[in-house]
Structure 1
Amino acid sequence: MGNVQEDIVGTWRSEEPGAPELTFAEDGAVSGTDGCNRIVSRYTVAEDRAVIEAFATTKMACQGVDTWLGAASEAVPDGTELQILNSGGDAIGVLERVE
């Protein structure tokens, strides 16, 4: 793996219902959707991962959409995949790089 800051910048998405997605900018901003609601935050790089501050989010109710991405606390890039961890360090999902 290379430089986490360089590796994480870009857009990452899942094909799950609602198409959860995160975009990491070079300036430390992160934004996207949990598949239902818009989410925005900031991130910092620590070792092999990005640590994500708590998201600011809209509060729409969406039936049939699992909003697991809203619980993201860390993101670990690994090639074309981004493993998402919650605040307990548990893996909660995977996003794929959008080319």
Structure 2
Amino acid sequence: MVPLSGCASSEPESPSPVGIWGPTDGAHLELAEDGGLTGSDGCNRLMGSWEDASEAVEFVGVATTMMMCEDVDDWLARLHTGAVDGDALTIFNIDGQEIGVLDRQ
């Protein structure tokens, strides 16, 4: 009798970044299947695109409106890359410093 072997990869597939991250009434991002990005810091809108770069999500050409809003932390406007870990998207600035975490909705 010959043992059967499969072709399955031993490495787990990384979770997809596609979806809505964060509450839609506050700081959030929506990453679309086609690479589009929309979102808000709770006051200003963000738009641009994203790319899946193996271990990270790279945010590309992101623009934001510049309205003055009292008591709004605009940390999300400084996004550069992100990392998906389960149902959390950790956001990093251009220096690689963690600036916030958004939960999958």
State the distance in 2 between where 1:26 and 1:55 align: 17
CA RMSD of superposed structures (Å): 1.7
List 4+ stretches of structure 1 deviating above 6 A: none
2:38 is equivalent to residue 28 of structure 1 = no
Shift of 1:47: 1.8
State the distance in 1 between where 2:61 and 2:80 align: 7
Deviation by residue 1:5-36 (Cα, 9 ceiling, x = unmatched): xx100000059xx6100000011111100111
Indicate which of 19, 43, 48 corresponds to 2:50: 43
State the distance in 1 between where 2:65 and 2:100 align: 21
Partner of 1:89: 96
Judged with a 3 Å threshold, the aligned counterparts in structure 2 of structure 1 residues 35 and 9 are, in CA distance, closer, same or farther, namely same
TM-score (normalised: structure 1):
0.87
State the distance in 2 between where 1:59 and 1:23 align: 19
SS at match of 1:53: strand
Give 5+ residue unaligned stretches, structure 1.
none
2:13 is equivalent to residue 2 of structure 1 = yes
| Of 65-74 and 50-59, the range deviating more from structure 2 | 50-59
State the distance in 2 between where 1:24 and 1:9 align: 5
> Percent same amino acid at aligned positions?
37
Which gives a bigger RCO, structure 1 or 2 (Cα 8 Å, sep 6+)?
A: 1
2:71 is equivalent to residue 68 of structure 1 = no
User: Which structure dedicates a bigger proportion of its chain to helix?
Assistant: 1
Of the two, which has the highest radius of gyration?
A: 2
TM-score (normalised: structure 2):
0.82
Residues 74 and 86 in structure 1, CA contact (< 8 A), matched pair in contact too: yes
